[in-house]
Chain A
């Protein structure tokens, strides 16, 4: 663990951020940082299949949106006091909504992955996009849950011992989930399962030749990534107190992918750094000029052309690619 010290410093800094923001008179920064943490989980989960498994999913925002809508729909039924389909009661308890959000995203990922993983390459990119678009249009058409206007979640979910209406407490909760997710993913990548995924990324045919059922491993990775993104979406719904089909639009999938590549594909912290860089650039450039996208575009281009390892590559911590 030669990286233990920098990681500890980084974590301490992240924990101290709300106090620093209060002290500097910038409390709005806490909300921004919470958004980065949520997107960081989403990007990290995509990195598991994209960076370690070589599966370029262009529909990852679907699971983000499904996680968010799970929280939104459970809240809506809790508010109205009507069970879903007359059976499942609504809820505003985070300890209930979060696992359900992950379950919903995981089941969706299992079905979509089982079908999509029969293809590969460009076709895989496009079929995952197609499924995400189906989900997007489905929620646009569901008038009962707001259609394309989206759904308000008036109050954040309840957690025993915490008051999520306080921005700093929500921030720490999200930070805790991010750290837990990164730890889990670090263990997965280092495990036998993770090595098999890495092998599939480098050469699927050889992995199959040594007797590994690659399809099952890829599907398992796909489902784990979907569940992680569902978690991120559920937290985002609490942060925004609003869900809409935009959360699963193809632009969102593109954004999450940009975060992974910007930060550094196949690195542990890269996706989180990428999320921070993209949201930060939006915020900083957006403060200078309303035409910030005009400058962001060429910056992304420059990263691709001259810094292929992303920000982590520039820092000398890029993954060694085989």
Chain B
């Protein structure tokens, strides 16, 4: 395999991991509480902003990481207690409208506080360079860090969900919600904890995304739609599905945008090929999702029997 293909595969893996961090929280909230939370992207943005600002002010990237995680988790839990808790019994329509309102609120709030100018984030010390992973192929070590952290999170989530009491309740809640409630479990507290966990992961994704892309208002919505694609492809409520779907979407998207414009350039003019190639590769994941849903309407790994 050529170095270019390996590099694009790694980029796809890194993007997929980022999507997984967002999709894991979203799919749990979807699967257990039955809530469509459009504001999940706002938590991603809150994490990125808190990390960038604290890192700038203190000069320590790792302090920024802690701040980003704490801010996202706290915001998520406040939102759950103040707003989403009232929406669990409502239909999807009300949830979409309410969380759409939350997006407007968060985006404009951040704009008012910090302006429209994107924030630049430094790479953490020790991860500013690149590592030669193959002869002739240096790869940024920060992106490798993202991949490693994401895989660790996936392992941690697997352990949490398969081998702890909270995880048992989460699994039970995803398939037999009413039975769990009937057995006397404090479902409200469980919901808040799960939502906080999802927000924490969204915040982690935001912190990690900071140095790779710009920290700016609207960054949450750009990635949110793709996250929904991941959740639906993987099967709502399934963390395993979220991991598989995220890697599939991440790699597909990256490979398409890496190679389609080049192929098109061989048959048409340069600028037109680039525009059409970008469009076709953006469409790719949606075609993938439509095909998956048509073949398996409940996603690849449906959590509900």
* Count of A interface residues, CB-CB < 8 Å: 46
Which residue from chain A places its CB closest to the CB of B103 in the assembled complex? A297
Shortest CB–CB separation between residue B5 and chain A, in angstroms?
24
Known: A257-B96, A261-B93. A296 touches B101 (CB 8 A): yes
Known: A119-B297, A133-B225, A301-B83. A125 touches B36 (CB 8 A): yes
Which residue from chain A places its CB closest to the CB of B83 in the assembled complex? A301
Residues of the A chain whose Cβ atoms lie less than 8 Å from the Cβ of B287: 134
Chain A 130-174 residues near chain B, CB threshold 8 A:
130-131, 133-134, 137-138, 140-143, 147
Contact across chains for B94 and A126 when beta carbons are under 8 A apart: no
Map CB proximity to B onto A292-314 as digits: 1 under 8 Å, 0 otherwise.
11101111110111001000000
Contact across chains for B290 and A127 when beta carbons are under 8 A apart: yes
Shortest CB–CB separation between residue B68 and chain A, in angstroms?
23
Give the complex CA separation of A40 and B222 in angstroms: 28
Contact across chains for A119 and B293 when beta carbons are under 8 A apart: yes
A64 close to chain B: CB less than 8 A: no
Which residue from chain B places its CB closest to the CB of A308 in the assembled complex? B94
Shortest CB–CB separation between residue A125 and chain B, in angstroms?
7
Which residue from chain A places its CB closest to the CB of B278 in the assembled complex? A141
Contact across chains for B279 and A140 when beta carbons are under 8 A apart: yes
Contact of A58 among B96, B104, B299 (CB under 8 A): B96
Contact across chains for B275 and A122 when beta carbons are under 8 A apart: no
Contact across chains for B104 and A56 when beta carbons are under 8 A apart: no
Contact across chains for B86 and A300 when beta carbons are under 8 A apart: no
Main secondary structure of the interface of B (DSSP, over half): helix
Shortest CB–CB separation between residue B277 and chain A, in angstroms?
8
Chain B 246-279 residues near chain A, CB threshold 8 A:
271-272, 275-279
Shortest CB–CB separation between residue A249 and chain B, in angstroms?
10
Residues of the A chain whose Cβ atoms lie less than 8 Å from the Cβ of B102: 297, 301
A50 close to chain B: CB less than 8 A: yes
- How many interface contacts (CB-CB < 8 Å) are there between A and B? 139
Contact of B282 among A121, A127, A137, A147 (CB under 8 A): A137
B232 close to chain A: CB less than 8 A: yes
Q: Which of A130, A138, A140, A265 has the most CB of B within 10 A?
A: A130
B286 close to chain A: CB less than 8 A: yes
Chain A 102-133 residues near chain B, CB threshold 8 A:
115, 118-119, 121-123, 125-127, 129-131, 133
Residues of the A chain whose Cβ atoms lie less than 8 Å from the Cβ of B133: none
Contact of B236 among A122, A138, A147, A254 (CB under 8 A): A122
Residues of the B chain whose Cβ atoms lie less than 8 Å from the Cβ of A142: 276, 279
| Listed A/B pairs (17) with beta-carbon separation below 8 Å | A50-B93, A56-B92, A119-B297, A123-B236, A123-B297, A141-B277, A141-B279, A257-B96, A257-B97, A291-B108, A294-B105, A297-B104, A297-B108, A300-B98, A301-B83, A304-B101, A308-B90
* Known interface pairs A138-B283, A305-B86; 17 further A-B residue pairs with C-beta atoms within 8 A, sorted by A's residue number: A127-B289, A130-B290, A134-B290, A137-B282, A138-B279, A140-B278, A141-B279, A254-B38, A258-B97, A291-B111, A291-B112, A292-B108, A293-B108, A294-B104, A299-B101, A303-B97, A304-B87
Residues of the B chain whose Cβ atoms lie less than 8 Å from the Cβ of A250: 225
Which residue from chain A places its CB closest to the CB of B94 in the assembled complex? A304
B139 close to chain A: CB less than 8 A: no
B280 close to chain A: CB less than 8 A: yes
